Structure 1
């Protein structure tokens, strides 16, 4: 009986720690074991920088949104009304996040997508700021805040990734 109880305890601990290690615990923390693939097929590691390093690379609004989980004003971003074919990458680290094929008009004033470019590139966590329960999405490579995902999108997923334009770069499809 003691051996069985000990075995179950050890298995429970292993499951707990392996599940907790797989996801970042805060919006700016990335999994140091993470491997990501660029648009060119290169293997990329995680990006970890100090606020001072980010401030040298990002303008004030980009820093506020990507590093402090802020939000740009609706209908003001450069990409909310973009209709070109290509890929949307992370403004902080160039990781591919969304394909233009999955972009749709949500009427919200922010770029909206019904699917991520590659599973594992966009991470999620619960967000109960502003007195409401939402799901925050962020870049899995650099931890940059992207926006939120909602269950009111179109088929086939029914999801609406509502993303700050300033969190993204657009790489147009080569013709």
Structure 2
């Protein structure tokens, strides 16, 4: 993520969102605003506003974070190898700005086999009325 964007986000975001999006922290499970949100709408990157996920791809994985089985459109999410905390995982970031979203796992229940495990504080939700 570019330094000028980090500075802008430091001024604009709450401290928890900043730590997650910029410093790749993780919000506590079962605390996020969108974990159990199943309203119709779209989820946007909180850092840059890019639309990343649609509610039609959201499911309750029981893991404590919002889970999706696909990005809204190919290329919206970038995957990055992550070997932090003694684990081998695939980090997901916004392809537009590089903001940390969470991780993707190959244990999803749908035909994609994917579970994008996303921090609520990394996204905003636009409800479709």
TM-score higher than 0.5 = yes
Distance in 1 between residues matched to 2:84 and 2:17, nearest whole Å: 20
Match of 1:115 in 2: 70
Trace 1:1-175 onto structure 2 (pairs within 5 A): 28=1, 49-174=4-129
Q: Distance in 2 between matches of 1:98 and 1:150?
A: 16
1:161, 1:168 → 2: CA distance? 13
Which consecutive segments of 4 or more residues in structure 1 shift more than 4 A? none
1:120-157 per-residue CA deviation (whole Å, 9 max, x = no partner) reads 11101100001010000000111100000000001210
Distance 1:105 1:50 in 2: 32
How far apart are the structure 1 equivalents of 2:4 and 2:44?
18
TM-score (norm 1): 0.71
Compute the displacement of 1:81 (Å). Answer: 0.6
- Structure 1 residue runs of 5 or longer lacking an equivalent are 1-27, 30-47
- Structure 1 CA distance for aligned equivalents of residues 72 and 23 of structure 2: 24
Q: Larger % of strand: which?
A: 2
Taking the aligned partners of 1:105 and 1:49, their CA distance within structure 2 comes to: 36
| TM-score calculated relative to the size of structure 2 | 0.96
* RMSD, aligned α-carbons: 1.2
Higher fraction of helix: 1
- Kindly indicate whether structure 1 or structure 2 has the higher relative contact order, using CA contacts under 8 Å at least 6 residues apart: 2
Q: Give 1:41's aligned residue.
A: none
CA distance in 1 between counterparts of 2:106 and 2:51 reads 22
